[in-house]
Structure 1
Amino acid sequence: MKERIFVIGASLSGINALSRLVGLLPANFPSPVFITQHVGAHSPGLLPQILSNAGRLTALHPKDTEGIEPGRIYVAPPDRHMLVQRGRIRLSHGPHENHTRPAIDPLFRSAAIAYGPAVVGVVLTGQLDDGTAGLLAVKDRGGTTVVQEPSEATAASMPRSALAHVQVDHCCKLAEMAELFIRLANDDPQPPEQANLDELIEIENRIAEGIFDLQDWWKLEGMSVPCGLNCPVCKSALYELHDKRMMRFRCRAGHAFSAESLLAEQADSRETQLSALFGSLTEEATLAKRLRDAPVYKERVDLTRSLSGKIQGIERESAQVCEWLRALTDLVEPDPDGGLYTSESGFRAGQL
């Protein structure tokens, strides 16, 4: 009995790529398709309508515990991880992964656990590397891995990361990918040759599902080492996972980062702190100016001179902070399609 499932992850320009891909699938496509597209928490959730209009298959935001039907496209709703269980879908408010919810890795891991070699994992256009760890899980469980040809992707970082870390089965353009989908959907999956890191995959899946407990943490702690860094979200200690194929981190609250997403989050945190410092300096200078100019202090030359000096000093400090903030926005990728990039103009642009 054929029971293929397709799980797809996309970020920057993913809506265009997904529309093209689903538009090439036939009305009698027999397998369910699960899509995580990076969207903001307050997105209006129009992607199912867009995809339904783009092709012949019905796309929808599923409800929690909804049963899986063949030939449907299930789209992760805003601010929820979409997880696959055997025969049904779970929606979770679990910790952000790679600074986003919904994230691609939780979908891929859950599908790999539930359906093993029947899973076809697909990484499309996007910044950074969400989806790479999940694609490794699909590969570990014997599933088929597919990556969009980087030269076709608007943002090649996610496809390139997947190709660098995973022994990908197929790398192709969207038109070829649709033909591949049809062929795979009508072919019985092969049994897996091996399954690695099962316990780690399962623990990470429980974290995404929001049922992480102390026993899980103690096990995860044994599979990782303190890295001397703090989580930029909750400030608790970060642990580096024992997975030599890809540098990944988790904190005790469950927030997960690849090395690149952690670097981007640290850059965002630095910008936030610098902006707060600039605001604090502005408030201090504003109050000092009000005191200096107040009529009651006009006769106190020593005080007004001191306040004027203070204001000048703050002006110099705020100018320096402004220069640091400008330097942050001037950072650019050494390779526009590579991995490292300015945080605000890069990853944020993927939050469609």
Structure 2
Amino acid sequence: MEIMMRSPLREQIQIIVIGASAGGVDAIRTIVVGLPATLSAAVFVTLHIGSHKSDLPWLLGRLGTMSASHAVHGEEIRAGHIFVAPPDHHMTVESGKVCLTKGPRENMARPAIDPMFRSAARTYGANVIGVILTGGLNDGTAGLYEVKAQGGLTIVQDPSDAVGASMPKSAIANVAVDYVLTVPEIAPLLVQLVAERSPAEARKGGDQATGDSQEKGMTAQFTLNHPVAVTCPDCGGALRRSELGSLTQFSCHIGHVYTAEIMLAAQFLTMERSVEQAMRSLSERAELCRIMMEKAQEGEAISPARWQDAMSEAFDQTAPLRELLTREWIHPDGDGIVGQGSVITDLA
């Protein structure tokens, strides 16, 4: 049996992982301003940016405290530096290094918060401090649960202080959170916790292998759970249900992962695209009928009235479809609705 050797780096460094979505830039900047360059911890930040260009490292670096950069695959973890997940890549924390992957989206996001939290917790155990900030829905809750389960400390932004309260509320509802604070209170606490905690003493668990073994663990869990009568919105594959504390998750063989709440929103987006395609087909049918109506007026065999009736029929059938899209849809978490103009814009 292969024996995993603990590297000195793993014994000496502490890890702070921060996840945010809508409204997160200002919150992250406020925290970073309060972190000294001498902080004996490495800071990892995932913000939901999808594949869009991000200037977050530049914004954080110019604050004049800690250095910041987009993470580079394989680079060494070092204290006093902020590693930011680059666009369209998951960032994970392995033993002594940073890893990037364009693996399947989790909770409709890439980069997603859960992979970063999960990998840090499984590698560094009680040396991890997890921070959940403002955002919609609940990416990060499952990852924060892992941080807590591996002996790490958990901090959540006070929902009343957040632009998007859903992420903090979900974390508080599903994880035994250690601290609930406003954003200005978080940096002083992080500095205090890092100074007070001895990494060697803090270690508790966290020696689980990462990388391929994590994927094997996911596959093993997948095969043990029975499929549910719901398919993956991303790839159409069968989904398996799993429970993480009080949190329900769904995953497919490809690796797409959803919480139940984000699955609901993903289903709406799938329905929205299908309805929009139907509306487009009806509009194209109406346009074809209009062209043929004009041609019939020039003497074709079929009367212009028949083409006009077909055109009107196509237009009329778009009305119920438009109503389906524009109505308000109930979101079970009670923190809002899912409907046109409000569909997970922060999980691009």
One of 167, 172, 176 as aligned partner of 2:181: 172
What is the rounded CA distance, in whole Å, between the counterparts of 1:2 and 1:221 in structure 2?
35
What is the rounded CA distance, in whole Å, between the counterparts of 1:225 and 1:234 in structure 2?
18
In 2 relative to 1, CA 226–333 (structure 1 residues): closer, same or farther, beyond 3 Å?
closer
In 2 relative to 1, CA 96–134 (structure 1 residues): closer, same or farther, beyond 3 Å?
same
- 1:114-173 residue CA offsets vs partner (Å, 9 max, x unmatched): 100100011000000000000011111111111111111111110110000000111111
What's the Cα RMSD here? 2.5
Partner residue, 2:8? none
In 2 relative to 1, CA 26–140 (structure 1 residues): closer, same or farther, beyond 3 Å?
same
Q: CA deviation at 1:223?
A: 4.1
One of 25, 29, 35 as aligned partner of 1:15: 25
> In the alignment, does 2:101 pair up with 1:100?
no
What is the rounded CA distance, in whole Å, between the counterparts of 1:37 and 1:97 in structure 2?
13
The sequence identity of aligned pairs, in percent, is: 36
One of 125, 128, 147 as aligned partner of 2:134: 125
The equivalences for 1:326-345 within 5 A come to: 326-327=326-327, 330-331=328-329, 338=335, 341-342=338-339, 344-345=341-342
- Contact kept in structure 1, 2:329 and 2:338, CA below 8 Å: yes
What TM-score does the superposition give when structure 2 sets the normalisation length?
0.89
In structure 2, the gaps of 5 or more residues are 1-10
What is the rounded CA distance, in whole Å, between the counterparts of 1:234 and 1:169 in structure 2?
37
Partner residue, 2:266? 265
One of 59, 70, 74 as aligned partner of 2:68: 59
Partner residue, 2:48? 38
- Which SS does the other structure have where 1:168 is aligned? coil
What is the rounded CA distance, in whole Å, between the counterparts of 2:340 and 2:103 in structure 1?
23
- 1:232-261 residue CA offsets vs partner (Å, 9 max, x unmatched): 111111111143521100012111100111
| One-letter amino acid matched to 1:4 | Q
What is the rounded CA distance, in whole Å, between the counterparts of 1:313 and 1:259 in structure 2?
39
What TM-score does the superposition give when structure 1 sets the normalisation length?
0.88
- Which SS does the other structure have where 1:298 is aligned? coil
In structure 1, the gaps of 5 or more residues are none
In 2 relative to 1, CA 93–21 (structure 1 residues): closer, same or farther, beyond 3 Å?
same
| One-letter amino acid matched to 1:229 | V
- Contact kept in structure 2, 1:285 and 1:311, CA below 8 Å: yes
The equivalences for 1:249-264 within 5 A come to: 249-264=250-265
What is the rounded CA distance, in whole Å, between the counterparts of 2:131 and 2:113 in structure 1?
10
In terms of mean alpha carbon deviation, does 47-56 or 116-125 score higher? 47-56
Partner residue, 1:306? 306
- Count of aligned pairs: 335
What is the rounded CA distance, in whole Å, between the counterparts of 2:177 and 2:300 in structure 1?
78
Partner residue, 1:235? 236
- Which SS does the other structure have where 1:102 is aligned? coil
- Which SS does the other structure have where 2:244 is aligned? coil
